[in-house]
Amino acid sequence: MSHSTYLPEKMGSATVSPTGAFEAGSFHEFTVTYTAGYFGIDDTGSLKIVHRFASDMGRPQFTEPEAPNYTTVEASNGAILHVEYDMKRNIRPWDKTVYIKVVRGFLREGDEIVVRFGDKRQGSPGMRVQTFCEDTFEFRVLVDAIATYNYVELPTQPTISIIPGPPAIYKAILPTLRRVGDSFRLCMKGEDRWGNPSDLCEDTFTLRANMKIDGLPAAVKFEVGGFGQIIEGLSVKSEGDLSIELLDEKDAVVVVSNPCRLTAVNAPGADLLPYWGDLHGQSEETIGTNSARDFYDFARDKAFLDACVHQGNDFQITNEFWQWLNELSAEFNVDDKFIVFPGWEWSGNTGLGGDRNILHMKEGRQIHRSSHALVDDLSDTDTDCNSANDLFEALKDEDCVVFAHIGGRYADITIAHDDRLERAVEVHSAWGTFEWLVNDAFEQGYRVGIVSNSDGHKGRPGASHPGSTKFGAYGGLTCTLAPSFTRAGLMEGLRKRHHYGTTGNRVVLDTRAVFDTPAERFSDDPRLDSGLGDVDSEQVSEAMMGDILRTNDAEVTFKIDVLGNAPIERIDIRNGLETVEVFRPYEDADLGRRIRLLWEGSEYRGRGRETVWDGHAELDGNSFEALTPINRYNLDKRFDQTAPGRIDWAALTTGGFGGFDAVLADPDAGTLSIDTALVKERVAVKDIGRDELVFANGGIDRRIRLFRLPDDNPHRAVTVERRIPLADDKDNALYARITFEDGHLAWSSPIYIFK
């Protein structure tokens, strides 16, 4: 939606200095000079310099000249100015606003307002540039020249370019499962310290695999200007769990790939292959960054995804942009290469159902907006669906799937849900972790799968580092188990709930239910059967994640098989709302000097869910020999060992968790004091064991957890089998949540068993 369009050519001009390209997350001083136009700016008129919602540029501050992000504003004619910074003082997506009001005096044509972002004249290191890349980062200027609070955008806006820094880490990505003899590829890239793929890599690495790979070269060379390396046409002739290491010139391991399981062609489950997707993100045409074309380019060529879906907020999608999204999805969708569904996010108010995501099987379908709040063309408001129930009614004959989402708004599936359409709930995104959403589904008796995506706004689908603003977590991924690498194949996997979600890591995960006597497995939820044969069934002795079955057995064997490239800290085995067991792959005798302290949870379900955990921990009678942060994505926030026995930190959570591992000088001596605004505790070190100590403080799982780990946990692959008693009077929703030591999580979609 535009502002006033009255005579923009007479409203002045603006420039920025310096111009050019600047490294993401670096510090600089930028001078934005506004020169008044024909009208000048009248007494009480004002100026706005705005940035996108997604930008995490340092927050301008006006009171500490030696601190980062110090900003000054001056009028060349001496007019008195009032200056404020507000995170939401303009029409989205240009929410973030430096507001400059002329409170005494006025400006004539040619007078200037000079704004120094990161003014270094009194010792400030400068303004911290946003942490992600953008070809045209704007200091967008709007003018209220006539003091009506009706703003005009300048016709030409000052811009800079934000580019990646040098590589801080490397990543190597394999497919998760392939059949023996199948061709596959190895994808590699370097990322800077803020998670941007770097084109400044100039390293040569030796490649070392734990299995013989046909077609694997001895080494790979990165050159400046390229964003990654892909080795195609690899194959393995034997079964096993493959990993590939990149070694530097000193034979030190730089990175280990995610694992790839090679299985026999006729092995159980080999008819379904896993495909990784980020099914939810946005571009600059709505509230994200960079173009929709850039969005798909990144997903395919820099995140190395198998599937991706653009999901812009519907109330920002014009008819022209919807047409363009359909053209892009048709262009980028290529069978056996990269799968794209045309899609959109229904962004209704929470009280009307909250956020939903729609994936269409084909292009050319009608978008049913929750509103036209930011779409000027009102000619098609009759197609709007203002409530989620209206949405489900409109989509009832569509070839599509829906999943419920938590963003700024949250999906309230207790007031709106459709079993035929809404096949999954999203338990994780860059907004945080929201397991309470799947619990809502269990309480209502719904049979849904679990997905994780990014809802990324920073132009990095599939590799969505949260940066340093409201996004508190790394973006998730969904692994769909599909019969073919096509739209139809992935849609079948989504409809059958044959998928699992992670917090961004790529792991092998398989869950199975094994029955004592044959069970009846349904082709779809039998509650949907219209009596016309829509749902059929067959007798089976085993089922996979997402299946729905009926049995007379009193109990079932639940099998969990997981393989990651980080040690497994715990597996929560669940039956719906009940945690049946917390399995840890190590025993008390394996514990050592390493303790783990975690903070987690959220204030409540809505937008203001951030929980601040700033604080410190201190040892009395002991000391820290080593400290390793967990899920510390915001490098602006401190994590400092300020004394041998003290650690200070600044942190927040939005539903997920962060924290640190500490190696103690003595495994049992002294006491540990924890001091945050929400939790203050004092614990004897000898009392920290394998079972966690939990210190809760309201909210949604708002708490600190403390427990002990082995000094070295070798368990990256775990197989667990448990006998699970089956309840007679409700669904038994058997699923697993796996917690890895590196801070990542994975969730299997439930197997639904009823008597």
Q: What is the DSSP string of 403-433?
A: EE-BSSSB--TTT---TTTEEEEEEEETTEE
Q: Are both 169-263 and 273-504 of the same fold?
A: no
Give me the CATH code for the 169-263 domain, please: 2.60.40.1930
What is d(CA 56, CA 96) in angstroms, rounded to the nearest whole number?
Answer: 10
Q: What pLDDT, on a 0 to 100 scale, did the predictor assign at position 529? A: 82
Would you give the DSSP letter of residue 494?
H
Q: Write down the domain spans for the chain.
A: 8-163, 169-263, 273-504, 507-585+718-755, 590-710
Q: List the structure tokens of 231.
A: 């080795």
* CATH class of domain segment(s) 8-163: mainly beta
Strand bridging mode 339-340 / 343-346: unpaired
Could you confirm whether domain 273-504 is CATH 1.10.10.10?
A: no
Q: List the structure tokens of 361.
A: 């099987």
Span 478-491, average pLDDT: 98
Under DSSP, is residue 293 helix (H, G, I), strand (E, B) or coil?
helix
Percent over 90 (pLDDT), the chain: 95
Going from the C-alpha of 584 to that of each of 570, 599, 710, 716, 718, the distances in angstroms are 5, 20, 11, 12, 10
pLDDT for 562 beyond 80: yes
pLDDT for 355 beyond 90: yes
604: confidence class by pLDDT, cuts 50, 70, 90? confident
Q: List the structure tokens of 96.
A: 């973030």
Q: What pLDDT, on a 0 to 100 scale, did the predictor assign at position 532? A: 66
Peptide bond into 93 cis (omega under 30): yes
Per residue in 371-430, pLDDT tens?
A: 999 999 999 999 999 999 999 999 999 999 999 999 888 999 999 999 999 999 999 999
Per residue in 618-629, pLDDT tens?
A: 999 999 999 999
Percent over 70 (pLDDT), the chain: 99
Q: What pLDDT, on a 0 to 100 scale, did the predictor assign at position 279? A: 97
Token look-up 């270094």 returns 120
Residues facing 75 on adjacent strands: 113
Q: What pLDDT, on a 0 to 100 scale, did the predictor assign at position 267? A: 87
What is d(CA 234, CA 178) in angstroms, rounded to the nearest whole number?
Answer: 11
Q: List the structure tokens of 29.
A: 């001083």
**Mean pLDDT, rounded, of the chain:** 96
User: Element (H or E) spanning 390, and its range?
Assistant: helix 388-394
Q: What pLDDT, on a 0 to 100 scale, did the predictor assign at position 677? A: 96
pLDDT for 584 beyond 70: yes
Q: List the structure tokens of 235.
A: 């194959």
468: confidence class by pLDDT, cuts 50, 70, 90? confident
Confidence (pTM): 0.96
Q: Among 284-288, 349-353, 355-359, 468-472, which is the least confidently predicted range?
A: 468-472
Superfamily the domain 507-585+718-755 falls into: Immunoglobulins (2.60.40.10)
Per residue in 72-130, pLDDT tens?
A: 999 999 999 999 999 999 999 999 999 999 999 999 999 999 999 999 999 999 999 99
Q: List the structure tokens of 78.
A: 């001496």
Strand bridging mode 422-429 / 449-452: parallel
Q: What is the torsional sign of CA 119, 636, 226, 329?
A: negative
What is d(CA 750, CA 744) in angstroms, rounded to the nearest whole number?
Answer: 19
Span 448-474, average pLDDT: 92
pLDDT for 1 beyond 60: no
Q: Among 226-230, 285-289, 465-469, which is the least confidently predicted range?
A: 465-469
Span 155-167, average pLDDT: 98
